[in-house]
Structure 1
Amino acid sequence: MALAVLALVAALLLGAPENAAALGRGLRQECKKNGDRCSLYAEGDCCSGMMCTMPLECSSRGSRSECFPECRKQTLSKLNKVDYPSSSGKTPALEAGQRSRPAVVVMQEWWGVNEAIKATALHIAEQGYRVLIPDLYRGRVALQVMEAIGLASDLNWTRGIDDVVHAVTYLRKTGAKRVAIIGFCQGGAMAFCGAQFAGVNAALPFYGIPNNISGCNPLRIPANVPIQAHFGTNDNSFPVSRIQPLALSMQQAGVNIKLNLYEGLPHAFFNALTPEGRRLLAGNNPNYKQPNETLVTQSFSRMTNFLRLHIRDNK
């Protein structure tokens, strides 16, 4: 190793950058192969053509209740544009996965249908689901926080809920027997609304709560719609002081909700699962720090186990 380091230094001093680069690659640890455990935050550790991501069939790995990131090839990389009928005429959306599979409606954050939510939807589809992302903003996407605030403020929630209701109808009419809804931030609030109005088989709101908009009231969610909610204890947008009393009131009203709290995780932590999501988080927060990877992946494992129980195995 000492000789190799000296050779690298010599190559640099002698002005041979291509030789130095080759020697530098030789000094690095060998890349990780298919199936090797890895860290989501150590991009580039996997061998060429692979990425560090959550494993396929995460919810069915023997008796394990949790999955861990590993190096593998991405099996889905494309979402197809579709339009489905709604009260406003047609709602634009993105879709992936075989039509006969159980389906998941994936609801956008306040940014719109950006690369981060697309990557999240593809990760869910890879677990064996059909996914659909309704475009509530009709093609508009925010890049900065102030833009997102403007788009979110302008959102017509009555039309948005209608988009969700018709998304579920579209999925069922085109092959999906069971449908869940999952959403993040603004989409998390919309997931609560979808659980109330859309007749879904399950709902997973991540760090979002509706504020009595368009008649959406989590206490009125039917008892036969199981809810798995995910919130971080360091969420300044939707703090524990709001979600804990709400979850308790929902339980007292007969709603089937399970609240999962993640110690120390901030708002929007699920974005840390994908490179696109991490770039979004880092680009809009100069003080951004990677959230606890174990807890982030735990939320993914819980999500996949919940989906498998309620829309995949429960036929």
Structure 2
Amino acid sequence: MPPDDLYLAEPPGHTAGAAGVLVLHDWYGLLPHVRSACDELAAAGLVALAPDLYDGRTATDPEQAEALMKGMDSAKVGARLEAATADLRERIGGGRVGGLGYSMGGFRVLLQATAGAFDAVAVYYAALDEEDAARIHCPVLLHLAEVDEFDPPEFFEGFIAALEAGGTDVQSHTWPGTEHSFANRDVPLYAPRQADEAWSITVEFLRDHLRAAA
């Protein structure tokens, strides 16, 4: 059984060599939509593991979520992510590993990608500066909101341009009529049609890049 500080979903009867995905939640915490994402990845044949970075605490209000994020112990979170990644690699026994992250979690997935932690990453409304982007060499899928209150379009454009300049395979989708957090069905900004379309692309992307060589 997995420990209480993570959620694990595995395909029925998976064996060593399966592919895995580390799933990192946004600043609202490990809400039901993250667990559902793990379950759906498992149904697609991928082992999915989502560490809880808030020790069981969650929020659906932005002010509460911001307080949770600011209250994180960076060293503790870093150690937890390192342990979760090692746990996932042990469970899949040598298969490929991808990252999936939402907002705050997407930022952390991308940071791990700069160190070569993943074979492919899918990220929702998150990016890094151009210098860090140059250190990402695995395929990247980005889902962006049409209106993002946290970062201007130029920030994401610079990130994408830096990835492309470095020869990184990058796909980017900006979803009309959406705002930051549009893929989180547990909060008011959820946009179901766009979220569903984005999710279909995400599952296909991760499956294609991870299972083909698993």
User: Per the shorter chain, which TM-score range?
Assistant: 0.7 to 0.9
Letter of the structure 1 residue corresponding to residue 3 of structure 2: V
Q: Is the alpha carbon distance of 1:157 and 1:256 closer, same or farther for their aligned partners in structure 2, counting shifts above 3 Å? A: farther
Shift of 1:237: 2.5
Show structure 1 runs of 5+ residues with no match: 1-79, 84-91, 272-276, 283-287
* Selected match of 1:181 from 87, 99, 116: 99
Give the whole-Å Cα distance in 1 for the aligned partners of 2:132 and 2:71.
20
Identity across the alignment (%): 22
* Selected match of 2:195 from 296, 299, 309: 296
Which residue of structure 2 lines up, in the alignment, with residue 217 of structure 1?
A: 132
TM-score by length of 2: 0.85
Give the whole-Å Cα distance in 1 for the aligned partners of 2:157 and 2:97.
26
1:26-78 deviation per Cα after TM superposition (whole angstroms, max 9, x unaligned): xxxxxxxxxxxxxxxxxxxxxxxxxxxxxxxxxxxxxxxxxxxxxxxxxxxxx
Which residue of structure 2 lines up, in the alignment, with residue 133 of structure 1?
A: 50
Letter of the structure 2 residue corresponding to residue 206 of structure 1: Y
Aligned length: 209
Give the whole-Å Cα distance in 2 for the aligned partners of 1:296 and 1:140.
24
- Check if 1:119 corresponds to 2:40: no
Give the whole-Å Cα distance in 1 for the aligned partners of 2:54 and 2:2.
15
* Selected match of 1:281 from 176, 187, 190: 187
**Are the counterparts in 2 of residues 193 and 218 from structure 1 also a CA contact under 8 Å?**
no
Shift of 1:231: 0.5
4+ long deviations beyond 4 Å: none
SS at match of 1:203: strand
Give the greater-gyration-radius structure (CA).
Answer: 1
Which residue of structure 1 lines up, in the alignment, with residue 125 of structure 2?
A: 207
Shift of 1:143: 4.1
Which residue of structure 1 lines up, in the alignment, with residue 26 of structure 2?
A: 109
Shift of 1:107: 0.3
**Are the counterparts in 2 of residues 232 and 262 from structure 1 also a CA contact under 8 Å?**
yes
Which residue of structure 2 lines up, in the alignment, with residue 50 of structure 1?
A: none
SS at match of 1:217: helix
Q: Is the alpha carbon distance of 1:292 and 1:171 closer, same or farther for their aligned partners in structure 2, counting shifts above 3 Å? A: closer
SS at match of 1:269: coil
Q: Is the alpha carbon distance of 1:121 and 1:203 closer, same or farther for their aligned partners in structure 2, counting shifts above 3 Å? A: same
Shift of 1:158: 4.6
